Structure 1
């Protein structure tokens, strides 16, 4: 369907509505955000002599909501300036303006009568053929469009975003029997490509897919917890990162989201699912009822399952709720033998067998939890979806699980999962046993072409997951034998069509010796018969930077020759990558810090995920960027001198970016900071990034890529600029904004960026600047205060200002 979305109307500016509006603004769409007109003046408005007819009063609700959203942390916007794409108004004065909108999204209060009343007004002004959708999560979609025209019904369906819309990737698309299938196809595609979502087609059943299964999982955990006598803290330890869930786990997440939300959804499911075999799981336990009555709803009311209190000496401490007495008690250290056994196991999927085999209470908890969840999801196919992969997609994208229920079951083993279900007295759907009886031993498999397939219970065969042809999943290629070379820290993988990929798999993807070796190997291999190289991975973060622990160890032992050699090797690897005979594409996502940022600065082109947090952060540990970062930022700044802006202003801005260790809050902001440049791309859906990078490499190769030569004409300003920087740094010190050690680091950074103590502006080479930055880095590793800063980051994860 050839449909272009230029302008979107969002009706309702609450927490969800304002943030949905912000996310459309993120991708460049103009937004009309509307809400109700206030019925009475505030005290402040009365003092100003305003009336209910004043425009500022009439738009107070919508403007206040948008301002609160823009000011919130984490920000719903890629750039604060994108808020300018959102025009506000109210239902009385501006509803007529939706005639110019291509898509209207309703996000008002969850009451059928209010929504239907609004739709009646919308239909009078909406342009026929435009999209109309609802973000409801608790009202059947088909009921919302009752009484509307055929054109309205044809273009209407549910589009259920998850909060916060910028960060949670799930978008459930819920059609009605009247929805035009072409509209559904369009929304599935638009959500994926433009909004960066995992779009999941759901049936119009209570709570759809993610909330139906996710809330069951939470409520079932509450039951198992009571059976085993576990505490709030113990359950959060058992249901956090060890099983691939968020660090906030079960109860901390509930506090953040709000217990009223959990209670309302659970109550709605308990009432709306008379035929659900596990409907008893949605009945609220007594402690949850009492917490709701007491308004202990989590962060929004100051207490929930956890409460922050002032301890001895006025220091804040977190107390946990004792569910037996409903009293808050000091935090307790949680330790289980089963969890200790999983500590050496890096790969998530390998932990589940160990967890389920545990001999302590933790093992018993996991056996009961897995049994309940596995049985439940089998019985939801085909009730809430015809395809099991959609349940996994929804839980990963909506609840932040690293692995969905069926993926987890595969890792544990399907026969073992069935055994747990039977042992716990649960009942799995019959199609699972039929699948095993037919010799199919897993819910998923990867074929020889590296395409992931799922077991389709209707056809009783494996089918490719729709849409994966647009993605390159490195795990799938690995499973199909596409790894050409590997060591402990990196792999070289064949992406096909003459393009290789270097993948990091060190801890936090730090850039140590193994990773550098893998990078050089990838360049060497690509130059021998391939067309290009991509540097990307599927980990949560691209790279947290260089191996700081190794630098610290060498510095403590005063092994400065080793540090010098390590930095020289990193610099040489960056230059080898930059000046190879094949195009190299960087694919940053998540954290791309320090050396991770420097690597992308040296790529021919960057294809960044929208959620990329990029920065040269070395200053925070008492160092300067020395993997080519200072050199490259100086080079990029010099390249702008001919554009007319005063040269000292440009170099000063770059100096401030590095010396304040600025990190972009998005890939869009990385452009503003100079980490990305014209010609680099941003991909909103991170699942598409490596495929897009492969295409970019092929485009450069097809265009006749020519090996570039190192630059020898980088203009630096010498003493003139150095004096400016040192004066500014001194003023900052006198104003007590920075410490003596900050002064020392800043002056060394300035020295490098100015090309040293040159008497006049001079053109220098890249190698000249590389030598200067390496020398400055090396000298700083001999400083005690730098070592203290490094130690603080390594031991506490927090920067030290000394």
Structure 2
């Protein structure tokens, strides 16, 4: 059988979702054509062209770097239908109108290649009914593909088959969506709103109903149903505003139109809430119209009041006692909430009870297993745990009895009892739906293991659910070589040594420095290569400030200079190690974490990695070799030019460090110079370690040798003078403070090599000495102390 490859994709529909799906395809280097209707005036592809141009303006950006939007090919249905013949995958993403979609399928059918897959991006329309418009030859290659908005950032993609979908097609598409697009795939049954929106929207409707029942305001509800409850920080009503109230209303209408009391005992609760209907009538659709449940006026956040139809002040928080309750162990937490006297506690129990009740009743009809439901809610609604996970953690039968008691007492949303499998048989005996054997499938009446597609072999440590004890834990897996409180070194294959930082936020403490140097020694003597990978994000937020400040208090600037020199020596030890050192980056690589990555031989970075030198935010300069790296890279890049002026090659790196610029994706980090063209960007976070180990092993097997230390030219005093002039203008224009100017000047002096002639040859040790001098000068500065204390106390930079 030939390997399925997606060499080109067509996206039909240049609306919000279609354009952003196209943008994400470009992010992962898949050529894409974006189709829409022919424009009535001007160029025929003007609608698609406008959508592509708008991608550059959206925040958060759907595309890694704005100019890559130009890589999307605009097209229209009148002139370019033949282009479909060259596409291996066609994703239809037009408006949620069954008649429009069916009409489009009739038009494209003659132009679909014989092996191309066709998929509809719909949030809830029947995939089977859509397939009926396609010729018999295409039906086996057709399915539903439901991206969540925004497609770049949301991990969930639901795949939905029809009775005529070829099983191999779903496997092929799941492989592409998982590895190439970096998504978490859940296979849903062809039922209204599939899994995530079915459970999620029912949950939001329950929350709105119970908020009204208990007399709670939107701001309090969002405070209770956000991070405190282990859900997305935007809570319930703010999430609805972000999604769009018109979108939410459409999903609700899908439930109303396609279900009934016979097919869903909760149907009576699917009415559009009065407050939502009023906002729709007022055309207040949420974030897109700058007004919904909430509205921002200046710096003030207001919330809608139904009775007056006006916006009133918001910002009220929930009672602290419930925040403390929510930190208790799951079983104790649910019992406390159920027995709470206050409205907020009883509200929380009610919405959790409703979620357990709804998920249990509908599991058999909407999903293959309970795993699909919990993964869908994690990936699609930002929940820390899915409903079955929380239920299981809290004590399966204890919670089941509490829920059934409320049902019997008429407190639940419906009198429909929990399914019998909840109380009897394998689930009750196992204490939950997730076990080492797999997750519960009511239809198959057994625990079903995860799909074993070859693509999942690339996920050495996949994200696992509570109870999936058979899946390995990276914290204890493999063979441990050495372990301290700060660092574990271990191996999976005996060839590549893995170093994992254990500190909070993977901060680089003196113990980490010592451990990494020892790890390089061990790797050189006993292994082919070394990978720095610490499991969960972030890669590293840099030097441990809390560990550094006491050293300053006791030993002053000399103690700090000594620590910085140790950091620099560690970086050089890695750069010149006799085995390749590969940094596997996920999440933030800031400050010293950025320096740790750039001094590695190669970087393998997850797409959503945020890399930068941010020391200016705490009143310091990069002091562990970051500025030396900028100077060296500028000199190396300048060798490709016939000119002799170093400054143009230095400007980007200097600006990034002086302004604490952070790449908002791995793609942008490459543009800033923190990743190189030879580095690898990985779309799926759980494939990162697999790729990094393979890259490290391949480098070693290819005969990799460490670079030789060499001198390189610097811009010298003339470069410093030029930069100083620009900084004065920025200060006088009010763009930077005087202290910002002072720090930036120190950065310029280091990256330009100090008071030397232009073109003077220096080495890394010389520049690192300048770094230490600037760093120790600033560590004693009172304004630096203000910035450090502000960051430690609030987590936000202080501008002084």
Q: So what's the TM-score if we normalise by structure 2?
A: 0.89
Where does 1:199-218 land on structure 2 (aligned, <5 Å)? 199-218=185-204
Q: Aligned partners of 1:585, 1:459: CA distance in 2, in Å?
A: 46
1:26 matched residue in structure 2: 27
Q: Which has the higher mean CA deviation after the structures are superposed, 433-442 or 552-561?
A: 552-561
1:569 matched residue in structure 2: 566
- 2:331–2:395 Cα contact (<8 Å) kept: no
After TM superposition, give the deviation of residue 363 of structure 1 in Å. 4.0
- The aligned length equals 772
Assess, with a 3 A threshold, how the Cα gap between structure 1 residues 731 and 328 changes in structure 2: closer, same or farther: closer
SS state at 1:610 partner = strand
Match of 1:534 among 531, 536, 539: 531
- 2:497–2:530 Cα contact (<8 Å) kept: yes
Q: Deviations over 1:204-262 (max 9, x none)?
A: 11111111111122112223323333221222112111233221111111111112222
Q: Aligned partners of 2:398, 2:710: CA distance in 1, in Å?
A: 64
Match of 2:50 among 18, 39, 64: 64
Q: Aligned partners of 1:113, 1:461: CA distance in 2, in Å?
A: 40
Assess, with a 3 A threshold, how the Cα gap between structure 1 residues 188 and 97 changes in structure 2: closer, same or farther: same
Assess, with a 3 A threshold, how the Cα gap between structure 1 residues 487 and 414 changes in structure 2: closer, same or farther: farther
Where does 1:43-122 land on structure 2 (aligned, <5 Å)? 52=41, 54-55=42-43, 58-122=44-108
- 2:397–2:428 Cα contact (<8 Å) kept: no
1:697 matched residue in structure 2: 696
Q: Aligned partners of 2:699, 2:68: CA distance in 1, in Å?
A: 31
- 1:246–1:401 Cα contact (<8 Å) kept: yes
Assess, with a 3 A threshold, how the Cα gap between structure 1 residues 761 and 297 changes in structure 2: closer, same or farther: closer
Q: Aligned partners of 2:3, 2:624: CA distance in 1, in Å?
A: 47
Match of 2:393 among 411, 422, 429: 411
1:354 aligns with 2:333: yes
- 2:8–2:88 Cα contact (<8 Å) kept: yes
1:380 aligns with 2:359: no
Q: Aligned partners of 1:91, 1:118: CA distance in 2, in Å?
A: 9
1:321 aligns with 2:321: no
1:477 aligns with 2:476: no
Q: Which has the higher mean CA deviation after the structures are superposed, 259-268 or 640-649?
A: 640-649
Assess, with a 3 A threshold, how the Cα gap between structure 1 residues 309 and 741 changes in structure 2: closer, same or farther: closer
2:207 matched residue in structure 1: 221
1:711 matched residue in structure 2: 709
Match of 2:617 among 613, 617, 620: 620
Match of 1:547 among 529, 544, 556: 544
Match of 1:779 among 774, 777, 780: 777
- 1:30–1:86 Cα contact (<8 Å) kept: yes
Where does 1:256-271 land on structure 2 (aligned, <5 Å)? 256-271=242-257
Assess, with a 3 A threshold, how the Cα gap between structure 1 residues 344 and 410 changes in structure 2: closer, same or farther: closer
Match of 1:341 among 313, 324, 346: 324
2:649 matched residue in structure 1: 650
After TM superposition, give the deviation of residue 800 of structure 1 in Å. 4.1
Q: Deviations over 1:36-75 (max 9, x none)?
A: 2345xxxxxxxxxxxx4x42xx333222222222211111
Q: Deviations over 1:676-706 (max 9, x none)?
A: 1243111011121122112223323434555
Where does 1:453-472 land on structure 2 (aligned, <5 Å)? 453-455=438-440, 458=444, 460-461=446-447, 463-464=449-450, 466=452, 468-472=456-460
Q: Aligned partners of 2:502, 2:324: CA distance in 1, in Å?
A: 22
Q: Aligned partners of 1:123, 1:177: CA distance in 2, in Å?
A: 19
- 1:527–1:582 Cα contact (<8 Å) kept: yes
After TM superposition, give the deviation of residue 167 of structure 1 in Å. 0.9
Assess, with a 3 A threshold, how the Cα gap between structure 1 residues 755 and 541 changes in structure 2: closer, same or farther: same
Q: Deviations over 1:313-356 (max 9, x none)?
A: xxx311233567655432344243444436988xxxx5674365
Match of 1:331 among 305, 314, 329: 314
Q: Deviations over 1:640-682 (max 9, x none)?
A: 3432254332123322232232211211222221111243111
Measured on the aligned residues, the alpha-carbon RMSD in Å equals: 3.0
Q: So what's the TM-score if we normalise by structure 1?
A: 0.88
Q: Which has the higher mean CA deviation after the structures are superposed, 323-332 or 627-636?
A: 323-332
After TM superposition, give the deviation of residue 189 of structure 1 in Å. 0.5
Q: Aligned partners of 1:796, 1:235: CA distance in 2, in Å?
A: 24
After TM superposition, give the deviation of residue 597 of structure 1 in Å. 0.9
1:509 aligns with 2:494: no
Q: Aligned partners of 1:59, 1:246: CA distance in 2, in Å?
A: 38
1:683 matched residue in structure 2: 682
Q: Which has the higher mean CA deviation after the structures are superposed, 431-440 or 218-227?
A: 431-440
Assess, with a 3 A threshold, how the Cα gap between structure 1 residues 488 and 323 changes in structure 2: closer, same or farther: farther
1:431 aligns with 2:421: yes
- 2:211–2:347 Cα contact (<8 Å) kept: yes
- 2:285–2:291 Cα contact (<8 Å) kept: yes
After TM superposition, give the deviation of residue 181 of structure 1 in Å. 1.9
Q: Deviations over 1:686-736 (max 9, x none)?
A: 121122112223323434555x37724233343343344334444544555
1:746 matched residue in structure 2: 744
Assess, with a 3 A threshold, how the Cα gap between structure 1 residues 462 and 525 changes in structure 2: closer, same or farther: farther
Q: Aligned partners of 2:315, 2:112: CA distance in 1, in Å?
A: 57
- 2:301–2:315 Cα contact (<8 Å) kept: no
Assess, with a 3 A threshold, how the Cα gap between structure 1 residues 390 and 537 changes in structure 2: closer, same or farther: farther
1:587 aligns with 2:584: yes
1:5 aligns with 2:6: yes
After TM superposition, give the deviation of residue 610 of structure 1 in Å. 0.9
2:468 matched residue in structure 1: none
1:303 aligns with 2:303: no
After TM superposition, give the deviation of residue 120 of structure 1 in Å. 1.1
Match of 1:277 among 265, 271, 289: 265
1:370 aligns with 2:352: yes
Assess, with a 3 A threshold, how the Cα gap between structure 1 residues 415 and 583 changes in structure 2: closer, same or farther: farther
SS state at 1:586 partner = strand
- 2:606–2:684 Cα contact (<8 Å) kept: yes
Assess, with a 3 A threshold, how the Cα gap between structure 1 residues 701 and 38 changes in structure 2: closer, same or farther: closer
Q: Aligned partners of 2:55, 2:531: CA distance in 1, in Å?
A: 37
